């Protein structure tokens, strides 16, 4: 009844305080597809992503994963999503490797056969900094560490909020190719970004369509 | 999936210990506060053993309680700031179980050292030796209650300006029963050898209730604060 999309959203409305940000939002995402969510500041892109991964509760609407409501699936759905928000979720007191090891143990469910910690760090270019406390890393390096989490957890749905902030040109390209590989492997991705990046096959999604005329 | 949950809880617990070990000043604050308060009392009141002995249970317990209150702020605050709390909320395990692991680590770092240190400070407060066992026992039973109850307002006031004061205001009324039973238990065994067991059993019952309720309540509070 919701079609056959892996991930589908219908009639979603979200508010911040008492202001409705957007309403009637619908989108569909299937294996191997990615969506680039666009829109000017303050439109509610972050709110949308937080609502989709279950961090905040939408006003109305229906978010389904494999045809079932994500709110009913709860932890089952959480095991399918990897979320990288504005905050990196990197603990300064732990080393880069410890941060990732912890992510594996706290978030990986069962035996996800994913990339090992060392390999993931190598992939994001932090191999040499593995034993450094994360607080000594630069902003961009912390961002890479947060993104390395995507590699150690095998999750079909990636929800990324401004993943390119603080990344240098090479890292932006390498992240785009990572997302490309993820899509090629049947993964889904929802990306909010103001930055232009090249990714074949990604669809644009303009959030402004679902916002009321703003004063 | 059972093993997975347990391993996730252990990971949260050990990581918490590791983080605080590397940031040890924060842990020490509570302990140092406890030591300072109980050291200043005999100096201010005077060396009258009898007077000190009368006050000892109350002073030791109040100091332990305030020390715990002081430490509540960094139960969730730094995780909230760096975003790891947000990540915990999207973990595929029940949040209350992970929060329980966090609270357990908090207790190991604050309540447990307080309880272990208390015999030394009890001597300073001229508490009779026969009551020292009860003091340690009551703190071992009581401080986990303080950590568990305190987690709820600590979670609720995340991101609120002046949250520290608010936490104390919210938490102190809830702490009073623990304080009363704890201090009474010690006073009872310091005095005529009245049964302190009654007070300790009440503390134990209280702990049993709070263990089942507080992790759930504070994880609900976390979801509200991070919405």
The ipTM value here is 0.87
Task: Check residue B153 and give its pLDDT.
Answer: 94
- Tell me which of A105, A143, A165 to substitute to probe the interface with B (most B C-beta atoms closer than 10 Å): A105
- Please tell me which residue of chain A has the smallest CA distance to B89: A55
Chain B: residues touching A (Cβ < 8 Å)? 1, 4, 7-8, 10-12, 15, 18-19, 22-23, 79, 81-84, 86-94, 98, 226-227
Q: Which residues from chain A sit within 8 angstroms of residue B1, using beta carbons?
A: 109-110
Test B7 with A105 for CB contact under 8 angstroms: yes
* Those residues with Cβ within 8 angstroms of residue B193's Cβ, 6 or more apart along the chain or in another chain: B130
In angstroms, rounded to a whole number, what is the distance separating the alpha carbons of residues A33 and B127? 71
Task: Answer whether residue A208 shows pLDDT above 80.
Answer: yes
What pLDDT, on a 0 to 100 scale, did the predictor assign at position B85? 92
Partner-chain contact B88 A106, CB within 8 Å? yes
- Which of A89, A107, A133 is facing B83, going by the closest CB pair? A89
| Nearest-angstrom CA–CA distance, B138 and B120 | 15
DSSP state of A87: S
Cα distance from A107 to chain B (closest Cα, Å)?
A: 5
How far apart are alpha carbons B146 and B174 in whole angstroms? 9
Q: How far apart are CA A13 and CA A59, in angstroms?
A: 5
- The model carries a pTM of 0.91
Higher pLDDT, B21 or B106: B106
- Which pLDDT score, from 0 to 100, does residue B194 have? 64
Choose among A55, A88, A90: nearest Cβ to B89: A55
| DSSP secondary structure letter of residue A146 | H
Cβ-based contacts of A92 with chain B (< 8 Å): 82
Q: Do A110 and B1 touch (CB under 8 A)?
A: yes
Going from N- to C-terminal start, the domains of chain B cover 2-225
Q: Which residues of B163-200 are buried (b: 16+ CB within 10 A; e: fewer)?
A: bbeebbebbeeebeebbebbbbbbbbbbeeeeebeebb
C-alpha distances (whole Å) from B119 to each of A12, A97, B57 are: 60, 41, 12
Check CB contact under 8 Å for B92 and A90: no
Chain B closest CA to A68's CA: distance in Å?
A: 17
Of A184, A153, A150, A192, the C-alpha closest to A51 is A192
Nearest-CA distance from B164 to chain A in Å?
22
pLDDT at A200: 83
Least confident of A36-45, B131-140, B148-157, B209-218: A36-45
List Cα–Cα distances, B91 to A9, B6, B85, in angstroms: 21, 14, 10
Provide, rounded to the nearest whole percent, the portion of chain A with pLDDT above 70: 94
Beta bridge partners of A202: A34
pLDDT score for A215: 40
Chain Cα centroid distance, residue A28: 16
pLDDT at A211 over 60: yes
Confidence of residue B1 (pLDDT cuts 50, 70, 90): very low
The residue-averaged pLDDT of A33-54 equals: 89
The tokens describing B176, both together, are: 């009073």
The alpha helices in chain B, defined as continuous H runs, are 2-22, 24-45, 49-71, 77-82, 84-89, 95-109, 111-124, 129-156, 163-190, 197-225
Please, which residues bridge with residue B180 across strands?
Answer: none
- Find out whether B32 and B111 touch, Cβ atoms under 8 Å: no
Does pLDDT of A78 surpass 60? yes
Phi-psi region of A162 (alpha: psi -120 to 50; beta: other; left: phi over 0): left
B114 in Cβ contact with B139 (< 8 Å): yes
Q: Which residues of B touch A55 (CB under 8 A)?
A: 86, 89-90, 226-227
A147 neighbourhood in chain B, CB within 8 Å? none
Q: What percentage of chain A has pLDDT greater than the value 90?
A: 31
- Tell me how far apart the terminal alpha carbons of chain B are, to the nearest angstrom: 28
- The reply to whether CATH 3.40.50.300 applies to domain A1-80+158-215 is yes
Give the three-state DSSP class for A72.
Answer: helix
Q: Where in chain A is the domain with CATH 3.40.50.300?
A: 1-80+158-215
Per DSSP (E only), the strands in chain A are: 7-16, 19-29, 34-38, 60-65, 68-69, 81-84, 157-161, 188-192, 202-206
Report whether pLDDT(B161) > 90: no
Contact B15 A91 (CB under 8 A): yes
Nearest CA in chain A to B97: A106
Give the model's pLDDT for residue B64: 94
Lowest mean pLDDT among A9-18, A193-202, B95-104: A193-202
């Amino acid at each position: 009844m919701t079609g056959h999309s892996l991930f589908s959203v219908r009639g979603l409305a979200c508010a911040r305080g008492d202001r409705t940000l957007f309403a009637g939002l619908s989108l569909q995402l299937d294996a191997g597809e990615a969506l680039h969510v666009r829109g000017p500041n303050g439109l509610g892109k972050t709110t949308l992503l937080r609502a989709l991964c279950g961090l905040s509760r939408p006003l109305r609407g229906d978010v389904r994963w494999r045809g079932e409501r994500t709110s009913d699936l709860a932890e089952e759905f959480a095991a399918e999503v990897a979320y990288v928000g504005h905050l990196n979720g990197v603990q300064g007191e732990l080393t880069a490797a410890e941060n990732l090891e912890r992510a594996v143990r706290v978030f990986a469910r069962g035996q996800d056969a994913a990339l090992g910690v060392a390999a993931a760090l190598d992939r994001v270019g932090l191999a040499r900094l593995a034993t450094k406390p994360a607080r000594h890393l630069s902003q961009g390096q912390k961002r890479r560490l947060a993104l390395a989490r995507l590699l150690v957890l095998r999750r079909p749905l990636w929800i990324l909020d401004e993943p390119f902030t603080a990344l240098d040109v090479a890292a932006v390209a390498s992240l785009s190719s990572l997302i490309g590989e993820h899509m090629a492997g049947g993964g889904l991705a929802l990306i909010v970004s103001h930055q232009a990046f090249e990714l074949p096959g990604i669809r644009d999604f303009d959030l402004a369509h679902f916002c009321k005329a703003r004063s | 999936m059972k093993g997975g949950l347990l391993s996730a809880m252990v990971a949260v617990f050990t990581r918490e210990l590791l983080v605080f070990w590397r940031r040890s000043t924060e842990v020490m604050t509570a302990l140092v506060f406890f030591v300072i308060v109980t050291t200043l009392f005999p100096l201010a009141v005077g060396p009258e053993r009898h007077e000190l002995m009368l006050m000892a249970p109350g002073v030791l317990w109040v100091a332990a309680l305030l020390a715990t209150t002081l430490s509540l702020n960094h139960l969730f605050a730094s995780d909230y700031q760096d975003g790891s709390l947000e990540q915990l909320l999207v973990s595929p395990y029940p949040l209350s179980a992970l929060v329980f692991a966090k609270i357990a680590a908090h207790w190991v770092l604050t309540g447990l050292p307080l309880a272990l240190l208390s015999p030394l400070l009890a001597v300073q407060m001229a508490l009779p030796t026969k009551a020292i066992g009860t003091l340690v026992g009551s703190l071992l039973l009581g401080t986990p209650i303080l950590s568990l109850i305190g987690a709820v307002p600590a979670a609720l006031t995340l991101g609120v300006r002046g949250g520290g004061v608010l936490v104390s205001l919210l938490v102190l009324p809830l702490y009073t029963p623990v304080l009363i039973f704890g201090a009474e238990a010690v006073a009872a065994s310091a005095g005529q050898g009245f049964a302190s067991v009654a007070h300790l059993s009440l503390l134990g019952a209280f702990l049993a209730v709070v263990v089942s309720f507080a992790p759930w309540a504070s994880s609900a509070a976390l979801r509200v604060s991070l919405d």
